[in-house]
Structure 1
C-alpha cells in the first residue's frame, strides 16, 4: 500500500465537480457532486445524535436498503437540520434533480449538507448548482480538490488523500475527502467524509469493514465535545478495478480493510488538527490498559478535557489536568502505578510516576508543548491493550469563531 496524490477522483470511474451556488456563502464554491457511471455498493456510518438532519435520514435509508448508488450531492453553509417536512422534501427534490440530469434513479443519489442548523434552503439554488456541475464532471485531481474545498465551513484547509494497494493481482485505489472543524466529538462520526474506491466488494463486507475501522479512527477524535446533527461517513465502491468481488474474509478483505483504515486514520488526524481556532494537534496514547474499551475511554477522556486542551494551548506542563481527566473517565485504575509523559518532535519528558511527580525542567517541557503535535503518553501498567485519541488545543479563537457563526 502506498499514499498517492489525489482524493475522491483517484479511484477508477469516479468524477467530481464543484460550483458556487450562493446557498449561504458568496464569492466561493459551496456545492459538490461526486459521480460514478458504474453503480456503486454503498455503506455509511452516521451521527448518533437523536436530532438528525434530513440528509442523514435520507442517506441512512438508501445505505441500509442496499440501493446501488451513483452520486453524492453536498453543500456547505446550511445544514438542512431541524427543518421539518420541508427539509425532507429538499433532500428528495435535490436527488430528483441530479437523477434527471444524470439519467439515474433518485434513490441512487446520496445528499449531504453542513452549516447552520435551523435555516431552510432554497431548492432553486441547489437545482441550479447541480445543473452547473453535471457538465463539469471530471476525474482530474483539480476536480477532486475543488470538491474538497466546496464543503469547507470553518475549516482552514481542504482535506483529501488517496492510497493504492493490490487485491488479487489488481491495482486498487481508495480516495477520500472530509470536512470538519467544529462540532467534532466521538461516536460517529463528527464531520462529513466521502470515500470512493474501485474495489469490488459485497455490501455486507463493505459495511463490516467501515464499522470496524471507524471505531479507532473517526470515533477517537474530539474538538469541542459537541456532536453534530449531520455527521456522515459514506463509502462508495464501484468495482472498476476488476478484482474478483470480495465476498468473504481472507487476504483480499484484509488488504481492503487495511487501506480503508489508513484513509480513515489519516483523515481523522487532519480533522482533529484543524479544530476551530486550534494551534496544535493533541494526541493521547494509552498503553498497557486492562481492556481495549477502557484504553479507548481513557484516551478520549484526556483529549476531551477542556482543561487539558487549555494546558496544551498555554504550553504548560500542568500534568494534574491529565491525571484528573483519567480519574473521572469512569475506568477503575490505581493512580500509584501509572506513568505519564509528554512528547513532541522536540523530545520527551517524564512528568509523573509511581504516584508522585517527577522533577523536570519547565523550560524544556514548554518547548515540547509548543510544537504542532503534542502527545500525552499514558502507561496504565494494568494489561496489554492500547488506544489513541486525537483532539486539539482550546484557544481564544474557538470562542470568537462560534460566537458569531450565524453571521
Structure 2
C-alpha cells in the first residue's frame, strides 16, 4: 500500500506532504513524493492525517455490558466495586463474547490498533475457556491483542474486598497462567497476540500469589501488571492490613522493575515517584476513569519529568464509560492543563504517550511509531471532516477538536476500518448483541 501526499502526519520524518509505503506487516518507506510501485494499492492522502495506531495499556472488556448503571453512577471505587461484583458474578459465555466484541470494535473505531485486556473475572459457573474466547474475538476483528491473565484470590472471608463466590484458588491461577502463556503468547516481532500476568489488586489477591506470579512471569519471559495507588482507600487498606503503603508492598513482593507496569498510580508521593523512576517501573494513566470515580488526579508531569514510563488507557467500560481511545487522549490532555502545566501538555506529547509510551509498557518496540521497519499500524483521520474545519494544525486538531471516527485503520498492514466503517464484523450486530446480553445480565440482578 502507498498512502500519498498526506495532509499531515505525526512522525519524526520531516518534509512536506509525506508518503507512507507498507510492505506486508511493516512500514517500508516514509518520504516525500514516493512513486507507486507495481502492485501498490494507492491511497490519496491529500485530506488525511496519519498517526501511529493508538495503544491501550489497561482495560476490562467485560465491563462493556455494565455502562452507566444508575445505582453506580455516583460511587467511589470501593463502593462501586461492592455494587458491581454481584452483578458481574452473573456473567455467562454469551455475555462475555458480546462484551469482548463491543469493546474491541469501539477501540478500533477510535483509532486503537493494539489493546490489552486485564481479565480478572472467571465465574465458576462458566465452563468456557474465556482466554481462548477472547483471543478468538480479537482475531476475528483484527485487533492486535495483549491478554492480561488477571485473578482474584482474596475474598471476604479472609479480609479481601471480593465476594468469596468470585475468587479462584492460588494454585489453579498459577497453573492456568502457565497454560495461557503457553497457548497464546507470541513474542515474535509484529505478533498479534501476547500474554502477561496480572493479579488484580492488593485488596483482592493474596501476597503468596503476588510473589509466585512474579517468579512465574520471569521464568516464562512475560511481564507483570496490576492496579496500584488508585485511591486513598487502597492506601488505607494496605497500611491497616500489611503495615505498608502499596508501593512498599510491591517492592516486598518483587513487583518493581522494567517488566512491571501499574494501572492508575494516582497516590504516589515524591519518594515513591523517585523509586518508580529508578527501577523503570511503568504506569498506565486512566484519566477518564480517575475522574469518573473521583479517585484523584495523577501527578503526571512529576512522573514524566522523573523519567517514569507512562502510557495511556481507557480503563474498563463501567468506569469510563467508553472504549473510545481518541476521547481518552483528549481527556488526558485537558485534565492536566492547569496554569502551571499548560505548556507541558501539548497534543503531540499526549499522542506520544498513547502510542510509543503505551507500547513500551507492553514491552513492544515494534509498534507505536510511524517509522520505517515498524509494524504497519496506521490510523488515518479525515482532515476534511466538519469537526476539523478551520483548524490550522491538523495533528493537534485531533485532540483539541471533538473526537471523530477515523477514516481508515490499518493493523499489521491490513485495513480493518475504511470510510469510518468496521470491515471485519457487522457493527450493528455487535451493538444489538451487546444490548441484548446487557439486558439479560441486568435482569438477573432484579
Q: Indicate whether the TM-score tops 0.5.
A: no
Using the size of structure 2 for normalisation, the TM-score is: 0.24
Structure number with the higher helix fraction is 2
Report the TM-score when normalising by structure 1: 0.26
Q: Which has the higher contact order (CA 8 A, sep 6+)?
A: 2
